[in-house]
Amino acid sequence: MEVVVASGKGGTGKTFIASNLTYFIWREEGVAVGVDADAEAPDLLVALGGSRRRINAREVRESRKARIDPGKCTGCLRCFEVCRFNAVDVRGGVPSIIEEYCEGCGACAIACPAGCIDFYVARTGYINVDESAAGPIIVTADLEVGGRNTGDLVYLAKEEGRRLAWELGARHVVVDAAAGIGCPVISSLAGADLLIVVVEPTPPSLKGAKRLLDVAEQFRLRAYLILNKYDLAPDYAEKVAEELGIEVLGRVRYDRVVAEAYASMEPLLARDPQHEVSKTLTSIFKHLLECVLH
């Protein structure tokens, strides 16, 4: 099954949950595949100790970009007028395309009376596959600096994750989604079996989770809740659970060992398996494997 861990807002502990879940599955089943779908700031591999061995790295070229033939350009600036992405720069009456901003929509080429705009395919980023130091195999969507087609890259990373899971006999793929509800998150949710929403007891986190669940509903995804750092505001945590109205998988308390584990690049379950927070995680993940993902 494909399990997406998402939050609708950054900083809630999503990667903490995703990395420990991937590690837990690896420890229980001997094999686990994780996909880091946060292409702009991937850190799932880091949370699992970094790379022990690079298995594969593939360049992805999926980004269509416009270019202007200066020899044919008449300087009418129709391209500048129609571009909604501010990707046409004009200096001294001469237009040029800013590659990082260009979405390849084609409006400028349609508008250009001189027919001097065509397209090329630029690098979107990389799909890296690593054996993490902690054990699980991690597929990372790594966006080119200034790149934008994160949805495509996430789609390809998930495809690679599914292929590897099939090849290695892994029963589950854990996807660590990007924060928010943008294109990469939508790609993360597409085709998944289950969503775990990680929420902290704050109004922005609740708001983000509600928006995320609205998107997930369109994919008819089963959704479950993990209340992270719930003890920082226990009453509000219960309000979050009530307002979201989805099954609560568990409540994880705040503890500085979480930050310490992250700083040492180790999943908490490996670093300190007897700690109270590790015991909570173990109980949540056991229930998930035995009662939800069976």
Contact residues toward ligand SF4 (CB under 6 A) are 66, 68, 73-79, 82-83, 85, 87-88, 95, 97, 102-108, 111-112, 114, 116-117
Q: For ligand SF4, which is the closer residue by CB, 77 or 292?
A: 77
Nearest distance from C-beta of residue 101 to ligand SF4, angstroms: 7
Output 66 or 225, the one with its CB closest to ligand SF4: 66
Q: Which candidate, 125, 126, 129, places its Cα nearest to that of 163?
A: 129
Residue (57 or 76) nearer to ligand SF4, CB: 76
Judged by CB, which is closer to ligand SF4: 73, or 289? 73
> Closest distance between ligand SF4 and the C-beta of residue 105, in Å?
4
In angstroms, the CA 87 to CA 150 distance is 18
Distance CA 36, CA 175 (A): 6
3-state SS string over the chain?
A: CEEEEECCCCCCCHHHHHHHHHHHHHHHHCCCEEEECCCCCCCHHHHCCCEEEEEEEEEECCEEEEEECCCCCCCCCHHHHHCCCCCEEEECCEEEECCCCCCCCCHHHHHCCCCCEEEEEECCEEEEEEEECCCCEEEEEEECCCCCCHHHHHHHHHHHHHHHHHHHCCCCEEEECCCCCCHHHHHHHCCCCEEEEEECCCHHHHHHHHHHHHHHHHCCCEEEEEEECHHHCHHHHHHHHHHHCCEEEEEECCCHHHHHHHHCCCCHHHHCCCCHHHHHHHHHHHHHHHHHCC
Cα end-to-end distance, the chain, whole Å:
9
Q: Which is nearer to ligand SF4, 114 or 289 (CB)?
A: 114
CB 56, min distance to ligand SF4, A: 31
* For ligand SF4, the closer CB: 55 or 73: 73
Cβ proximity to ligand SF4: between 100 and 243 the closer is 100
* Smallest distance, ligand SF4 to C-beta of residue 148, A: 10
Least distance from C-beta 112 to ligand SF4, angstroms? 3
Q: Kindly state the smallest distance separating residue 150's Cβ from ligand SF4, in Å.
A: 16
**Minimum distance, C-beta of residue 74 to ligand SF4, in the bound complex (Å):** 4
Which of 11/75 has CB closer to ligand SF4?
75
C-beta of 111: minimal distance to ligand SF4 in Å?
6
Q: What's the rounded Cα separation, in Å, for the pair 179 and 7?
A: 6
